[in-house]
């Protein structure tokens, strides 16, 4: 039986990274008792349009945003791979003996909107063999089974776990939800503000916004 502390896995496009992401990871670490949160920017996200900013640039913004947080670490492998990123193969990579192996409890962190779309992910049912899933509340998105697609709702009912402490009792397989400070911030909104030459201050870290300004991201068509 695993006795280790669980590790959080946080994938995303991060186009750009913002305070919604940072609070999600920070509050997940506290609420779920995670030793670390491993941030994994997608190289080429599988299920969405090409990001506005390239993989290396998105990676650099995440690196800047998390640099001073000792609980956060950056995984560059999906960007380095220069191919489409899928969550199940990413988790399989993390399960290799030279990374976390098979017994370390891993907790995949997702927002409520991402969770609602999970049944559309490549080989999605295998996710539960590889990690627990922790779903953060996000303004505008419900997490109740009644609002999920039927096949995901069934899995949610079967695997829901009310006690985050139990995440360390097994390496994978449970779903927990957690309330975080509701922040109605999205990367889409930030991109729109910047393309209109409006301020995105207080929505993302100053160091990220400064980097965006220096490199003229999001202002050019």
Q: Does 138 bind ligand ATP (CB under 6 A)?
A: yes
**Contact 25/54 with Cβ under 8 angstroms?**
no
Q: Is 114 a residue that touches ligand ATP (CB under 6 A)?
A: yes
Residue from the set 55, 105, 111, 171 that interacts with ligand ATP by CB under 6 A: 111
Q: Would you count residue 181 as binding ligand ATP (CB under 6 A)?
A: no
- Distance CA(168)–CA(170), nearest Å, equals 6
- Total residue length of the chain: 221
Terminal CA-CA length for the chain:
53
12 binding ligand ATP? (CB under 6 A): yes
Closer to ligand ATP by Cβ: residue 64 or 169: 64
Tokens of 110: 């997702």
**Which region among 15-23, 81-89, 123-131, 169-177 touches ligand ATP (by CB under 6 A)?**
15-23
Q: Which is nearer to ligand ATP, 61 or 161 (CB)?
A: 61
User: Considering beta carbons, is residue 121 or 169 the nearer one to ligand ATP?
Assistant: 121
For 114-143, letters b (16+ CB in 10 Å) and e give bbbebbebeebebbbebbbbbbbbbeeeeb
Interface with ligand ATP includes 100 (CB under 6 A)? no
For residues 31 and 122, give the distance between their C-alpha atoms in angstroms, rounded to a whole number: 29
Q: How far is the CB of 20 from ligand ATP (least distance, A)?
A: 2
d(CA 91, CA 105): 12
Binding-site size for ligand ATP (CB under 6 A) equals: 18
Note the residues at the interface with ligand ATP (CB under 6 A): 12-15, 20-21, 24, 110-111, 113-114, 136, 138, 183, 185-188
């Amino acid at each position: 039986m695993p006795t280790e502390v669980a590790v959080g896995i946080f994938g995303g496009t991060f186009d750009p990274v913002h305070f919604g992401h940072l609070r999600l990871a920070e509050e997940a670490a506290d609420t779920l008792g995670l030793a670390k949160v491993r941030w994994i920017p997608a190289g080429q996200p599988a299920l969405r349009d090409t990001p506005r900013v390239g993989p290396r640039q998105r990676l650099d913004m995440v690196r800047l945003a998390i640099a001073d947080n000792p609980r956060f670490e950056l995984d560059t492998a999906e960007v380095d791979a220069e191919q489409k990123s899928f969550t199940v193969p990413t988790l399989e990579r993390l399960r290799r003996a030279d990374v976390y192996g098979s017994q370390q409890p891993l907790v995949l962190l997702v927002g409520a909107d991402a969770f609602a779309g999970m049944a559309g992910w490549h080989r999605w049912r295998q996710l539960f063999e590889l990690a627990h899933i922790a779903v953060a509340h996000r303004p505008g998105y419900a997490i109740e089974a009644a609002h999920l697609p039927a096949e995901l709702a069934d899995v949610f009912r079967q695997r829901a776990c009310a006690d985050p402490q139990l995440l360390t009792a097994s390496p994978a397989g449970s779903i927990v939800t957690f309330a975080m400070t509701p922040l109605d911030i999205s990367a889409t909104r930030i991109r729109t503000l910047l393309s209109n030459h409006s301020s995105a201050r207080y929505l993302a870290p100053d160091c990220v916004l400064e980097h965006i300004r220096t490199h003229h991201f999001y202002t050019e068509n």
